[in-house]
């Protein structure tokens, strides 16, 4: 790959990702694009998302059942996410205490080239309220 070409597909994925709140799967984004009339192919969505992620224009994480989810994020800034596991609402959070902790714990154990995965899941205020009303005895929320 010597040069990088500009295609409407790449832009379509970038836009669709920007129009989405929270994290989406490649398949989900592909469905959304198709529903809005785009004839874009599934493999292309996968490729575009992977590119966006490596270029730093999108963040990715593994959902609890192992599928990759993507989200348009403020580029260039390292940050983490607070995600509602019910409605998908996502908040970008900076985590300076965590950054320094991660660095030091790696260094203390002789590790180099340290990276980290830090995600917080929970129920957002709204979903918490809804859950409290429907049934106070909230069973295993798997």
Partner DNA sequence: CTGCTTTTGACAATCATTATCATTATGCGT
Partner DNA sequence: ACGCATAATGATAATGATTGTCAAAAGCAG
Task: Using the Cα atoms of residue 117, residue 47, residue 66 and residue 19 in order, give the sign of their dihedral.
Answer: positive
C-beta of 42 vs 50, nearer to a copy of itself: 50
What is the footprint of DNA within residues 18-57 (CB under 7 A)? 25-27, 39-44, 46-48, 50
Q: Is 73 marked within a binding site?
A: no
Q: Is 87 marked within a binding site?
A: yes
Distance CA 42, CA 35 (A): 13
Please name which of 137, 140, 101 lies closest in space to residue 118, comparing C-alpha atoms: 101
Select from Zn ion, a copy of itself, DNA, none the partner in contact with residue 115, using the beta carbon and a kind-dependent cut-off of 5 to 8 Å.
Answer: a copy of itself
Is residue 17 part of the contact set for DNA (CB under 7 A)?
A: no
Q: Is 137 helix (H, G, I), strand (E, B) or coil?
A: coil
Q: Is 84 marked within a binding site?
A: yes
Q: Is 81 marked within a binding site?
A: no
Residue 87: other Cβ atoms inside 10 A: 14
Q: What CA–CA distances, in Å, run from 3 to 6, 41, 133?
A: 10, 22, 56
Query: What x-and-dash track marks residues 67-86 binding DNA by CB under 7 A?
Result: xx------------------
Residues that bind Zn ion (CB under 5 A): 84, 86-87, 89, 99, 124, 127
């Amino acid at each position: 790959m010597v040069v990088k070409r500009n295609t409407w597909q790449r832009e379509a994925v970038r836009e669709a990702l920007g129009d989405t709140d929270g994290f989406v799967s490649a398949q989900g984004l592909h469905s959304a694009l198709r529903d809005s009339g785009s004839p874009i192919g599934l493999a292309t969505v996968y490729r575009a998302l992977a590119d966006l992620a490596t270029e730093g224009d999108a963040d990715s994480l593994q959902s609890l059942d192992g599928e990759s989810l993507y989200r348009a994020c403020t580029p260039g800034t390292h940050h983490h996410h607070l995600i509602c596991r019910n409605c998908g609402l996502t908040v970008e959070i900076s985590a300076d205490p965590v950054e320094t902790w991660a660095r030091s714990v790696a260094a203390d154990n002789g590790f180099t080239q340290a990276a980290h995965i830090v995600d917080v899941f929970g129920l957002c205020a709204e979903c918490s309220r809804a859950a409290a009303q429907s049934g106070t005895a909230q069973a295993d929320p798997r």
